[in-house]
Amino acid sequence: MTDHTTTNPSTWPGRTAIVTGAAAGIGAAAARDLATRGVAVTVATLKPGEGGEEVVERITAAGGRARLAFGDVSDAAVVEALVAEATEDFGPPDILVHAAGGFTTLAPTAELAVEDWDRIVAVNLRSAFLLVHAVLPAMIERRWGRIVTVASEAGRMPTRVGVSAYAAAKAGVIGLTKHVAREVAAHGVTVNATAPSTTLSDRIRSLYPDGGAAAGAQHPMGRLAAPEEQAAAIAFLCSPEASYVNGACLDVTGGSVNI
């Protein structure tokens, strides 16, 4: 009987990955984490000057392999080009970490403009479908793949007023993840999600006058998560040790989500 719990070192170093939203925060931390494990990483971000350049420089300075890609991953043509170029440079992606997303509009549903709803859903949910759709065929053909979508605690339970579009999109990401996981389970591909709570990225620090200290004090753990803590959970789901974890949504919330 085959021992599926044994880690095969050849299935971790030498792998290739695309990480979206990788200029900062959780995406950047995930890209750096994977690179330390021998994974060649395409660092995908919306546009130059957001921090993607520094992420690549940090990875390569440490001896890792990384390349930079720009574009809006809610655009099908951009995603097609992203995957094609990553494949040309590093080979077909073995791992997809979709951390791009977020929202820029905070408004009660009755006051939310339709175009803002459409954009938030596109950035968070449409992008997830496009990327999963683009990487799956080659993963299925090679009978190995790891896909991790980064959802949110807002997709698991109500968090605050004014984020209904974001919450709906992230709940959709979780639903997409679970359904695709069942579709491809027999092909050696696992598809999982993480649901982070508020994480202390530079963007979050800038949103709070006190840098997030008060929000952290109200958290069950007395602090907000660090991006590296979120990245560690993502790396586990990408690893050989997680070979039998499929269709899961891992709450990385320090106890703020307990449903």
Residue 10's pLDDT is 40
Strand residues in 197-254 grouped as ranges (E): 249-252
Please give the domain boundaries of the chain with CATH numbers for all domains: 13-198+230-252 (3.40.50.720)
Task: Band the pLDDT of 26: cuts 50, 70, 90.
Answer: very high
Q: Which strand (E) or helix (H) includes residue 26?
A: helix 25-36
The pTM for the full model equals: 0.91
- The number of CA neighbours under 13 Å toward the Cβ of 218 is 5
In sequence order, which residues have a C-beta less than 8 Å from that of residue 55 and are 6 or more positions away?
A: 22, 23, 28, 31, 32, 43, 66
DSSP 36-62: HTT-EEEEEESSTTSSHHHHHHHHHHT
First to last CA, the chain: 37
Could you give the residue numbers annotated as active site? 166
pLDDT digits (tens, 9 = 90+) for 51-97: 999 999 999 999 999 999 999 999 999 999 999 999 999 999 999 99
Task: Judge contact between 143 and 92, C-beta under 8 A.
Answer: no
CA–CA gap between residue 222 and residue 57 (Å, rounded): 33
Residue with tokens 């420089």, as numbered in its chain:
57
Instruction: Give the number of other CB atoms < 10 A from CB of residue 158.
Output: 10
Inter-CA distances, 113 with 107, 169, 196, Å? 9, 16, 26
pLDDT digits (tens, 9 = 90+) for 117-159: 999 999 999 999 999 999 999 999 999 999 999 999 989 988 8
49: alpha, beta or left? (left if phi > 0; alpha if psi -120 to 50) = left
Residue 219 has pLDDT above 80, yes or no: no
Residue 166 has pLDDT above 50, yes or no: yes
The SS3 of residue 21 is coil
